[in-house]
A and B are shown apart, each in its own frame.
Chain A
Amino acid sequence: MVLIFPLLIPLLGAFAVLLCKSPRLAVRVALGVGALEMIALGNAVVRVYTTGALQVGEYLRADSLTAFFLINIGLIFALVLVYSVGYLRHIPEGRFSSPRWFYGLVFLFLFTMIAVYLSANLGLLWISVEATTLASAFLVGFYNTKGAVEAGWKYLIVCTVGIAFALFGTITFYLAAVRCGIPQDTALNWTVLMNAAPRLAAAPQLLKLAFVFIVVGYGTKIGFVPMHSWLPDAHAEAPSPISALLSAVLLNCAMYAVLRFDAITARALGTGFSHHLLLIFGGLSITVAAFLMIVQRDLKRLLAYSSIEHMGIVALGVGIGGPLGLFGALLHAFNHSLAKTMLFFTTGDVRENYGTLRMDRIRGMARTLPWTSGAMIAGGLAIVGMPPFGLFVSEFIILTAAFTKGSYLIAALILVALSVAFGAMLFHFQHMLGGESHTTRVRPKAFLTDLAPTAVCVACLLVLGTRIPTVLTNLLHGAMAVLQ
């Protein structure tokens, strides 16, 4: 039951919220369901932390890696839920753009993402990842403007094609497992495959073919260059809380899927093949994204490209490998999600006050929006990897791993990309913050529901930047044991 509740609550919650006709009631029900879900997730994490991996039936399983990502999704989702209360007040009322549709779809989205983390079966994993696309497509197109509809359509089509490739990869993986003598019923079971990995070495071509398709397929959802075309559009056109969910949780979800396959492939064939592939995609992503950040005009597109860059860093961390590289990569995924959530939250305020997210039209933010500007400065410093924030630590760990492994080229690549991204962020942010504003303030003061989530993000990033909590370190070590 420990693993059933986190799945059941958002699913039932989605329908419960959809039944609420009045917007006020819908918001309250949503917060209630969210609180219940946090308890259920917390309970699951505590159980995994104290007693080790949990298996429910044939298809659900939670180990340390799952628990680590469950903390991530729970934390970000709670923040998004609170932030949405203030944000939704300003959404124009439409047929599908009422709070109940928003929360209903958000809970369905949450359900599918938690299903990704809890599935013990690679087929079920695929079904869940595809379901995340379906559940979030309407959230991306929520505003129903021309841009939003185009972004939603592009997201739906590009990701479905990508995921079709992942299905092909999953099938090839299954074929390899069956050919190597693993019974058909369990040949998609992750733990079985992990234990039987040495036997899988008998079909190296199939495994390699499968992994290429997996990386291209799930990589589309992660936003690896060159399959990233949907990502900036979707992030820019979605409502800010949804952009935060996409960037901070969905990308990690897809990365998690790749991690599972990577672990099996690496154990079967050695780390040479799969890790090199991740290095190629990661390197391409950070380089292209960092340079594209310079020329962006829209604030949310800038943040979206920054997400591509950071997912590239995570991929590089995994690709460098070793305990240090993997530790840094997982930690970086966590840190990035906190910093990016915070930045996307500030864009909501900016849009509301300036009526646009075009960065050349935003001036003098520091005077008109002091609180939001403060949050943006903190988030900006965090995202470019300044101490004392968490991203500095995780990037430093990944770089250390690169140097100890002797991959100087990769270390140099990361450093160059980070510097370019740093310059781009600084350039855009100082332009927006400084100068005289031409718009008058629309809203007298920031709401508590806007500021509280940001404060939580800053606090978490500071903690992660100074001393990583023991719970997290233990879970990370458990996760690394699972993956190696």
Chain B
Amino acid sequence: MGFVDIAAAKTLASSAVFIFITLLLLASAKRTRTCIVLFSMQGAVVTAQILATAYVHRSAEAYAVAFLVLVIKVLAIPYLLLRIVDRLNMPREVKASTTSAQSVFITAALILLSFLVIQPYVRAFNIDEDMLAAAIALVLTGCFLMVSRKKALMQVIGLLVMENGVFLAALTSTFGMPLVIEIGIFFDLLMGVFLMGLFVFRIRDTFDHLDVSKLRRLRG
């Protein structure tokens, strides 16, 4: 068994744990920058996992997907977000409505919950339990970040974390969708982040703050 085989096997075995770690750190992070870096690291874990899958299954398509994830989720989107944070020139705290400790506890509970809800599907369809749980945990934590963080940019990050989860679910259950479709999804994602970035600037210019919880003009 060569070195690469061992590396691939270990990556597949441990990537779920690394994803849980990034989630818990995201929950405790106090600055938007830290969250962006953590999102990038999460993307790196996903990339490593796809590379390992690609190696194990000898799939050229999976290598292409890994490359796309690396370029878009690890490099392009975090870079874009960091640029936005720099250019915004606004206070950089995430402004959570829960304390760090509470957020970590809630995230841990969400991780446990995701292990619970996937049980019937794991048994019926013979899917890697840890990875599917990680996928569901990503979706749930993404939702939690979106509702508990008040800054506009944190909502974008929550959304991206959620999307990571959906992507990972596709990867673990079906080895991903056809390549053309994946490319289209990534393109949409990139455009989405770009547009949301532009909107964040508009929010700053019209409201002079980025606190989404204060956007309450429209009701009823």
A residues engaging B (CB < 8 A)? 59, 121, 123-124, 126-127, 130-131, 134, 137-138, 141, 144-147, 149-154, 156-157, 160-161, 164, 167-168, 171-172, 174-175, 178-179, 184-185, 188, 205-206, 232-233, 236-237, 292, 295-297, 301
Contact = CB atoms under 8 A, between A and B. Distances in A.
A153 B218 contact: no
B170 A205 contact: no
Contacts of B121: 205
A149 B218 CA distance: 11
B166 A167 contact: yes
Contacts of A179: 125
16 contacts: A59-B180, A126-B185, A137-B199, A149-B203, A149-B207, A152-B202, A154-B218, A156-B196, A157-B155, A161-B143, A167-B166, A175-B173, A184-B174, A188-B178, A233-B218, A236-B218
DSSP majority for the A interface?
A: helix
Which of B163, B178, B218 has the most A CB atoms < 10 Å from its CB? B218
Given A59-B180, A137-B195, A171-B166, 12 more contacts: A121-B181, A124-B181, A145-B206, A146-B206, A156-B195, A157-B146, A157-B196, A160-B159, A164-B163, A167-B185, A184-B178, A188-B181
A150 B159 contact: no
Contacts of B220: 232, 292, 295-297, 301
Contacts of B198: 138
A185 B188 contact: no
B215 interface: yes
B206 A171 contact: no
A179 to B, nearest CB: 7
Nearest to A123: B181
B60 interface: no
Contacts of A156: 192, 195-196, 199
B177 A149 contact: no
Nearest to B185: A127
B218 to A, nearest CB: 4
A295 B219 CA distance: 12
Nearest to A167: B166
A105 to B, nearest CB: 11
Interface in B140-159: 143, 146, 152, 155, 159
A174 B173 CA distance: 10
Contacts of A171: 166, 169-170, 173-174, 177
Given A171-B173, A188-B178, A237-B218, A134 B159 contact: no
A184 B61 CA distance: 12
10 shortest A-B CB distances, which residue pairs?
A123-B181, A127-B184, A171-B170, A233-B218, A150-B215, A130-B188, A175-B173, A149-B206, A168-B166, A175-B174
Interface string B122-146: 0011000000000000010001001
Contacts of B178: 123, 184-185, 188
B212 interface: yes
B218 A144 contact: no
A260 to B, nearest CB: 16
Contacts of A137: 195, 199
B4 interface: no
B71 interface: no
Interface of B: 120-121, 124-125, 139, 143, 146, 152, 155, 159, 162-163, 166, 169-170, 173-174, 177-178, 180-181, 184-185, 187-188, 191-192, 195-196, 198-199, 202-203, 206-207, 212, 215, 217-218, 220
Given A121-B181, A127-B188, A237-B218, A144 B174 contact: no
A206 B220 CA distance: 37
Nearest to B196: A156
Contact of B162 (A127, A141, A161): A161
A141 B195 contact: no
Contact of B184 (A123, A141, A233): A123
A164 B206 contact: no
A137 B196 CA distance: 9
Which of A131, A164, A188, A292 gathers the greatest number of chain B CB atoms within 10 Å?
A164
Nearest to A236: B218
Contact of B218 (A150, A164, A292, A296): A150
A209 to B, nearest CB: 8
Contacts of B192: 130, 134, 156, 160
Nearest to B125: A179
B166 A150 contact: no
B159 A146 contact: no
B191 A134 contact: yes
Most chain A CB within a 10 A radius of its CB, from B146, B152, B199: B199
Nearest to A177: B174
Contacts of B139: 168
A154 to B, nearest CB: 7
Please indicate which of the listed interface residues B146, B162, B178, B180 has the most CB atoms of chain A within 10 Å of its own CB: B178
B217 A147 contact: yes
A175 B175 CA distance: 10
A260 B102 CA distance: 43
Contacts of A59: 180
B174 A153 contact: no
A161 B169 contact: no
A292 B219 CA distance: 12
Nearest to A230: B218
B202 A149 contact: yes
Nearest to A169: B166
Contacts of B195: 134, 137-138, 156
Contacts of B181: 121, 123-124, 127, 188
A1 to B, nearest CB: 21
A124 B181 CA distance: 6
Contacts of B212: 153
Contacts of A146: 206-207, 217
A232 B162 CA distance: 25
Contacts of B146: 157, 161
